[in-house]
Amino acid sequence: MKKTIQTIFVSLLFVSPMQMAAQNTAVDFSQYTGSQVVNSDFEDWSGPEYDNVPFGWHSFESVDGVKLYVSFAKSKDHTSKQTKDLHEGTTGAACLKLVPRSLIIALANGTISTGQMIAGDGSATSPKNHAEMDISKQATSNGSPFYATLTERPAAMSVWVKFTQGSTNKQHPYATVSAAITNGNYYQEPTANNDSSVVIGYAKNNQISSNDGQWQHLRIPFRYNSPNFNTTDDPKAIMVTFSTNADPGQGNKGDVLLIDDMELIYTHTVTIPASGFATFANVVMNNHKVSIPEGLTAYILGTNAQGTPIVKGVYNAGQVLPYGAAVLLKGEPGEYEFSTTLYATAETIEEGGDICLVKVGEGSTPDSNYAYYRLIEKNGALGFSKISDFSGINDSEALLRVKADMASDSYAHVILDSGSKNDVNGDGIVDVSDATQIVNRIQEYDEDTSFLISNADINGDGRINVADVMRLVVFLLENQ
C-alpha cells in the first residue's frame, strides 16, 4: 500500500498535456414536422358540422358508399360522443366515447377513424365496409380532410382506453385499434387484397380487454419489417382506426369504448461512452418532452458565488426534460433508449446564467461575451475543453458556456457528488484507485483551459489538485 502511494506522488512530478479526442455522443434527432395526429387528445370538438365528432376524426356521420347502406349507416343514433369520464393523471377535460349502432339489418361496431368510413355491403364482414384514406382526394368533413399527415417513423403508439361490454361475449371479447403509416396512396382497413406495398409501418392491438372496466394505458409498437411493406418511400400519412369490437358486426348493444390522450412515441438511442458521461440537448421539437431512461441521471449546470460550475438541478430516471434543456448525462457505458412524447402545452427551459450548458445550432458562431467548452475525453480523463468554433458539433450535443470575464483567468470544476466523500470513481470502495483517478485528471488537463468533471474535490475548496490527493492519501493511511 505505501509503495503504491509513493508511486502516485512521483507521478505528480511528470504532468504533461495529452492529445484531445472528442467523445462520440452523436444522437440522430430529427425535427418532427407532422409528428402527431391532429387532436389526438380528443379535446377539440369544434367541427362545424358534427359536435359529437372530435375535430380531425370521422365516423358514420360522413360515411360514403352504396346509397342504400349509407342511409342505414347515417341513422340518427351517434356512435361517437364526448364524455368527461377521464383517466387519472390526464390534463385534459374531455375524451372520446364510442358505442355500437343498430342498423336494423345488422349491428355496426362503434368506429372512428382519421380516414373516411365506407358502407358498401349489407354483410358486416364484407371488405366493402371499411375505412379508407387517400391524400390525393380533396374532400373534407367537419372541417378536416379524410386523412392525417405524418412525416416521421414513430416507434410506438401510446393511448388510454377503457372498454366495457354490454353483455359478456366470450367469442368476441375485445375492442381494437390499428394505425397504418403510408406513402399517401390509397389504403383501406380492413383490406381484401394484398395492398400493403403502400404501407410503411403498422401498429395494431385487437385484444383490448375489459380490464374489469378500468382505464388502461396501452403502448403499441409499430412494425416496419414486414416482407410486403414499403421500405423506400417516406411517410406521408397515417390512418388510425378505433372500434368497439375486433370482429366486424360481433359487438353487443351497450358496448362502450373510451379513448383518450393518444400519442405517437419516438425513441432514439444515446450512447454513453467508457467515461460514463455525455452531454445532451433536448431540442427534438417545440412541445415535446424527453423521458430519462433507467440507468441515467441528467444534471443541469450552473455557477455558485465563487464562479465555480456546480450542479443546479437533477433529473432522475423516469422524469422528463423540458424542451431546450441542455444537460450532462451520467450512467454506465452503453446505449440508452430515449422516448419523446407530446406536451399538453409547450414547456421550455431558457438558457441563462454565467455558466450553463447550451445547444448550439448548425452554422452558429460563438458569442464573444462567452467562452465555450466541449466535453472531451483524454486517455481516460474526462473534462470540458475550450473550443474556438462550432464545427463538428453533433446535432444533440450540448456545450458548456461560460461568461468570458469569468473564464479568462479562472480555473473551476464541475463537482458531482457520488455520495461518498472519498469514493472518486464511484465504485463503492475507497482505495488507491480513487487516488489514481485524481492523478490522472490532474495529468491530463491544463488548468487554464479546462473544467473537470469529478467528485474528487476531497477538501472542498472548489479545485481538484495535489491537495486533494494528499487528503485522500492521509485517509487511506489512517484506514488501512
Give 321-368 pLDDT, tens digit per residue.
877 788 899 899 999 988 776 554 444 555 567 778 888 766 678 888
Give 39-98 pLDDT, tens digit per residue.
999 999 999 999 999 999 999 999 999 998 898 888 767 889 999 999 998 889 999 999
- pLDDT value at position 8? 41
% of the chain surpassing 70 pLDDT: 79
Q: Which one, of 45, 109, 124, lies nearest residue 241 by Cα?
A: 109
- pLDDT value at position 380? 63
- pLDDT value at position 342? 56
| Cβ proximity of 87 and 93 under 8 Å | no
Give 456-477 pLDDT, tens digit per residue.
778 777 677 888 888 888 888 8
Which has more pLDDT, 180 or 455?
180
Give 201-259 pLDDT, tens digit per residue.
999 999 999 999 999 999 999 999 888 899 899 999 999 999 999 998 888 889 999 99
Give 189-215 pLDDT, tens digit per residue.
987 544 578 999 999 999 999 999 999
Q: What is the mean pLDDT of residues 377-401?
A: 79
- pLDDT value at position 275? 81
CA dihedral 263, 149, 83, 252 (to 10 degrees): -90
Residue 28 — pLDDT band, cuts 50, 70, 90? Answer: very low
Rounded-to-integer distance, Cα 354 and Cα 297, Å: 23
| Cβ proximity of 126 and 188 under 8 Å | no
* Arithmetic mean of pLDDT over the chain: 81
User: Could you count the other beta carbons within 10 Å of the beta carbon of residue 248?
Assistant: 21
DSSP secondary structure letter of residue 231: -
- pLDDT value at position 446? 62
Residue 110 — pLDDT band, cuts 50, 70, 90? Answer: very high
Assign 72 to helix, strand or coil: helix
Task: Tell me which of 44-53, 112-121, 433-442 is least confident.
Answer: 433-442
Which has more pLDDT, 138 or 217?
217
- pLDDT value at position 265? 86
Confidence check: pLDDT of 163 > 50: yes
Contacts of 309 (CB under 8 A, 6+ apart): 301, 302, 303, 355, 400, 402, 412, 413, 414, 415, 451
Residue with cell 492523478: 439
| Cβ proximity of 118 and 191 under 8 Å | no
- pLDDT value at position 381? 67
- pLDDT value at position 410? 46
- pLDDT value at position 320? 81
Confidence check: pLDDT of 267 > 50: yes
Q: What is the mean pLDDT of residues 306-322?
A: 79
